[in-house]
Structure 1
Amino acid sequence: MTTTQARQDTLGEATLGELAEGLRGELIRPADPSYDEARSIWNAAHDKRPALIVRCKGVADVIRAVEFARSEGLTVAVRGGGHSIPGFSTTDGGLVIDLSLMNAVRIDPDRRRIVAQGGCVWADVDAEAQAFGLAVTGGLVSTTGVAGFTLGGGIGWLVRRAGLACDNLVGADIVTADGRYLHTSEDENPELLWALRGGGGNFGVVTSFEFKAHEVGPTVFAGLVFYPGDQAAEVLRGFSTAAAGAPDELSLAINLTTAPPLPFLPEEVHGKPIVAVLGMWSGQPEAGDAATKPFRELAPVVADLFGPMPYNAMQTLLDPLFPRGMRNYFRSAFFHDLGGSTLDAIVDAHTKVPNGFSELHVHHLGGAMGRVPADATAFGTRDHEFILNVVARTPEAEGYDEAVQWARSTGSSLGPGAASYVNFTGETNEDIVRASYPAATYDRLVAVKNTYDPTNLFHLNQNIRPASA
């Protein structure tokens, strides 16, 4: 008998019936026809079987689910967009609080505010906000959930102009471990708001987010330019030099990957190592060509696809490359510059990439993100100019372990003690979590955890342990 079935049997039909009757949403159990669809998540590396899935339609459902899990001693997994790389949005034998039906977005154009429910993905937010010429730093893939992205920090194409997503979080509604429904803002439960700005999903179920919005679009100057793979070192060095003088309106990244068989790339490069510089100029579109030009002439060009495009087109540009159902594992590291041993390690890792789906991303940071005071949010690392994200992926189980080992080896090659980004960490590791925050920030997060979740009910995350746990 499986753990899931055994746990459900111990709960009893009367108990489960009472839970179901108290919901506006849906209670899904292993015997239900929709169970396999409901339990699946974006990252197919995690195939788990929860005992119960509660698809919430509102805050009352969330409160009911939290209270039920606590009273029955069930492990809780909270699912927003479901993109969790370590698989935190599901669990074996526990209860999944699924917010996907809570995906409403409200825009206040006069105050430049965006209010998004906890089940929203960035496509939901961008579609509504762009109707008013507004945006906030969102995911690089539009199916990414607003919740996990924001709570861990939030690096996107507006990061240098507008800061991280969490820097723009001005309020939130949250259900805590004891079933309380709280609002947090600068004036109300401010220490909780501080913790939600980068401290991960440690403190409760956030049912809505309120963001400060920025005037962006509808047209931006964006896209990507491809260079030969054997020019990776030259492109990285040139990118570093050009990035030093980049204005805040320009957010860019390098992708060291394998050339896909797409019509805009010459057939002779298909399946071979290639380097892409991609990103977005969010200032006046007519100034975009000049602003991006230094990054579009770093080496002999294979294809240049930069140009004016709708903001929402850029926000969905990478979607086809990151479909649901692949196996994903990420490692990350912040670093100050693209010189010396760092550059050598990245180039070497590109030559050893295990398959055509795995790749390395180097994002340029700084700008507005770097000007936020270190103690203003829980986000731990602001004084580094770059972050490397090592993306290991396979379409099937075959080859996945080798890809993960490549990613881990690449992360280790950057040296010990490198700070990681909790959203780009593919496993639960207390040492990595501690290294992601300065010591004083971590201690402050523990104090907030002690207040709002002293028993660590919400531990399926990059976990900040309360003092009592």
Structure 2
Amino acid sequence: MTNTLGEATLGELAQALRGELIRPEDPGYDDARSIWNGAHDRRPALIVRCYGVADVLKTVEFARSEGLPLAIRGGGHSIPGFSTVDQGIVLDLAPMRGVRVDPARRTVTAQGGSLWSDVDAETQAFGLAVTGGLVSTTGIAGFTLGGGIGWLVRRCGLTSDNLVGADIVTADGRYLHASEDEHAELLWALRGGGGNFGVVTSFEFRLHEVGPTVFAGPVFYRGEDAERVLRGFRTATSGAPDELSMVLNMTTAPPAPFLPEEIHGKPVVAVLGMWSGRPEDGDAVTRPFRELAPAVVDLFGPVPYTGMQTMLDALYPRGMHNYFRSAFFSDVGNTTIKALTNAYAHMPNPFSELHVHHLGGAMGRVPAGATAFGTRDQEFILNVVARSATADGYPAAVEWARAATGALGPDAAAYVNFTGEASEDRVQAAYPKDTYERLVAVKDRYDPTNLFRLNQNIRPSASH
């Protein structure tokens, strides 16, 4: 494809950029085209590493004028592989990682290539935070645009609930600022509608007083106690205060030094959580979750907020084959427990996991329709993490994940950030009908030709 464009055309683009234009024949191409999820091995025609908004504007204009598919890469953690493309352009925001905190206004402005580690490092210098990813190497962009569920979700709401402004390059080459005062409907759509409406070059978030110390960690139980732990988890979450966010993880014990050797490689249930209130209250508040069954090891205690935010990083390395799937549900009742324990018993490999995340709190109090995020009336979400070290075993892991969420019911709503493939049905299942129709109207206004289609796509009216 680069040959059909012609050297003069490519030379003109390269000359116009402040950033880098990387082509298949360039020495750094293979590194530049790789993404976190090893399940997707694609060969873009061009990769543009953008150094600023001007580069974004030129790249969007070039993709539009040349009719090339355009993939937008923030942190590059896209599960369906949307951050790369065969024979198209990858617009890579990775060099754009500037973060600026305004402690007086309690806001932070972060460029679109920023990772959660970047944001957390700057905001914690002032004892402030916003709901971030559970893995700190995740990019803020896709995470925010799809909703954003993390350790502060019950206290502070979704990441997207805290989005108060965004700078965005639209399909027609405009550079807009979306806020409650200008392009308010676009801001509404960015709060959960995914990457459908343009390239967000910077995000402005509302911040909250959090840290620098929180009471957090994991407690591990034996796999044979899974049903007992699930039932206890249901009871313990029913009275949990907003400052407490908990996740139950049905997994396999890693060969970690903090776990007894006799359980390495065996089924375990880890209950993880963060209490972001006064650290001295954390022991009492978290204790019901740490006594659900005889514990193998209890690692809860006072830790830096940034320590909890990075705790899981090593478990999610770059290059593994990943497929995530999700389903919201209302209660950890008998039917749900049966479905979860059955999926746990048929786990395809030691890398795969079942996460039950307790929701509600501040997230649940945001009125339906106030943002584009689709599901707020469910108390829990099941996130199925299906992984394999290589391509071997990956199809089996994918089928297992689909069966695990399917067992919760065919009508269970999905979370767009944990939808493992591009699926129009799954996208529509993530939103109420009126919300989806409203998103289509925003798409019609800002991207009527569907230039931004490598995402969980909201198709414009003209493409139906």
Q: TM-score range by the shorter chain?
A: over 0.9
Name the CA distance, whole Å, in 1 between partners of 2:234 and 2:78. Answer: 30
State the partner residue of 1:230.
224
The residue type paired with residue 379 of structure 1 is: F
Query: Quick check: 1:282 aligned with 2:276?
Result: yes
Q: Structure 2 residue aligned with 1:393, among 387, 393, 401?
A: 387
Name the CA distance, whole Å, in 1 between partners of 2:255 and 2:76. Answer: 29
Aligned positions of 1:109-188 closer than 5 A:
109-188=103-182
Name the CA distance, whole Å, in 1 between partners of 2:400 and 2:445. Answer: 40
State the partner residue of 1:335.
329
The residue type paired with residue 118 of structure 2 is: D
Name the CA distance, whole Å, in 1 between partners of 2:46 and 2:310. Answer: 33
C-alpha displacement of 1:373: 0.6
Name the CA distance, whole Å, in 2 between partners of 1:223 and 1:259. Answer: 15
State the partner residue of 1:351.
345
State the partner residue of 1:272.
266
Q: Could you list the per-position Cα deviations for residues 299-356 of structure 1 after superposition, in whole angstroms to 9, with x for gaps in the alignment?
A: 1110000000000000000000001111100110000000121111111111110111
Query: Quick check: 1:70 aligned with 2:77?
Result: no
Q: Structure 2 residue aligned with 1:461, among 427, 450, 455?
A: 455
Q: Could you list the per-position Cα deviations for residues 124-143 of structure 1 after superposition, in whole angstroms to 9, with x for gaps in the alignment?
A: 00001100111000000000
Specify the SS of the correspondent of 1:468: helix
Name the CA distance, whole Å, in 1 between partners of 2:118 and 2:259. Answer: 31
C-alpha displacement of 1:118: 0.2
Q: Could you list the per-position Cα deviations for residues 197-244 of structure 1 after superposition, in whole angstroms to 9, with x for gaps in the alignment?
A: 000000000000000000100000000000010111111111111101
Query: Quick check: 1:60 aligned with 2:54?
Result: yes
C-alpha displacement of 1:405: 1.0
Specify the SS of the correspondent of 1:235: helix
Name the CA distance, whole Å, in 2 between partners of 1:375 and 1:156. Answer: 21
The residue type paired with residue 221 of structure 2 is: Y
Query: Quick check: 1:417 aligned with 2:411?
Result: yes
Count of residue correspondences: 463
The residue type paired with residue 271 of structure 2 is: V
Aligned positions of 1:32-111 closer than 5 A:
32-111=26-105
State the partner residue of 2:205.
211
Name the CA distance, whole Å, in 1 between partners of 2:441 and 2:419. Answer: 23
The residue type paired with residue 285 of structure 1 is: P
Specify the SS of the correspondent of 2:259: coil
State the partner residue of 1:297.
291
Q: Percent identity?
A: 75
Name the CA distance, whole Å, in 2 between partners of 1:110 and 1:190. Answer: 24
Specify the SS of the correspondent of 1:132: coil
C-alpha displacement of 1:456: 0.3
Q: Could you list the per-position Cα deviations for residues 402-449 of structure 1 after superposition, in whole angstroms to 9, with x for gaps in the alignment?
A: 111111111211111110000001101111100100000000000000
Specify the SS of the correspondent of 2:60: helix
Name the CA distance, whole Å, in 1 between partners of 2:227 and 2:461. Answer: 46
C-alpha displacement of 1:374: 0.7
Query: Quick check: 1:406 aligned with 2:400?
Result: yes
Q: Could you list the per-position Cα deviations for residues 167-212 of structure 1 after superposition, in whole angstroms to 9, with x for gaps in the alignment?
A: 0000000000001000010000000000000000000000000000
Name the CA distance, whole Å, in 2 between partners of 1:251 and 1:63. Answer: 40
The residue type paired with residue 17 of structure 2 is: L
Query: Quick check: 1:8 aligned with 2:2?
Result: yes
Name the CA distance, whole Å, in 2 between partners of 1:315 and 1:49. Answer: 33
Q: Which runs of 4+ in 1 moved over 2 A?
A: none
C-alpha displacement of 1:398: 1.0
Name the CA distance, whole Å, in 2 between partners of 1:409 and 1:309. Answer: 37
Name the CA distance, whole Å, in 2 between partners of 1:317 and 1:110. Answer: 30
Specify the SS of the correspondent of 1:446: helix
Name the CA distance, whole Å, in 1 between partners of 2:78 and 2:50. Answer: 19
Q: Structure 2 residue aligned with 1:377, among 371, 374, 393?
A: 371
State the partner residue of 2:188.
194
Q: Structure 1 residue aligned with 2:244, among 223, 245, 250?
A: 250
The residue type paired with residue 141 of structure 2 is: A
Q: Could you list the per-position Cα deviations for residues 17-67 of structure 1 after superposition, in whole angstroms to 9, with x for gaps in the alignment?
A: 000000000000000001000000000000000000000000000000000
The residue type paired with residue 142 of structure 1 is: S
Name the CA distance, whole Å, in 1 between partners of 2:424 and 2:391. Answer: 27
Q: Could you list the per-position Cα deviations for residues 1-32 of structure 1 after superposition, in whole angstroms to 9, with x for gaps in the alignment?
A: xxxxxx11110000000000000000000000
TM-score by length of 1: 0.98
Name the CA distance, whole Å, in 2 between partners of 1:170 and 1:427. Answer: 29
Specify the SS of the correspondent of 1:362: strand
Specify the SS of the correspondent of 2:461: coil
C-alpha displacement of 1:291: 0.6
C-alpha displacement of 1:265: 1.3
State the partner residue of 2:437.
443
State the partner residue of 1:3.
none
The residue type paired with residue 217 of structure 2 is: G
**Gaps in structure 2 of 5+ consecutive residues:** none
Name the CA distance, whole Å, in 2 between partners of 1:313 and 1:182. Answer: 36
Query: Quick check: 1:367 aligned with 2:361?
Result: yes
Q: What do you get for the CA RMSD once the two structures are aligned? A: 0.5
The residue type paired with residue 15 of structure 1 is: T
Name the CA distance, whole Å, in 2 between partners of 1:212 and 1:34. Answer: 38
Name the CA distance, whole Å, in 1 between partners of 2:367 and 2:395. Answer: 40
Specify the SS of the correspondent of 1:210: strand
Name the CA distance, whole Å, in 2 between partners of 1:83 and 1:263. Answer: 28
Q: Which is further off, 258-267 or 82-91? A: 258-267
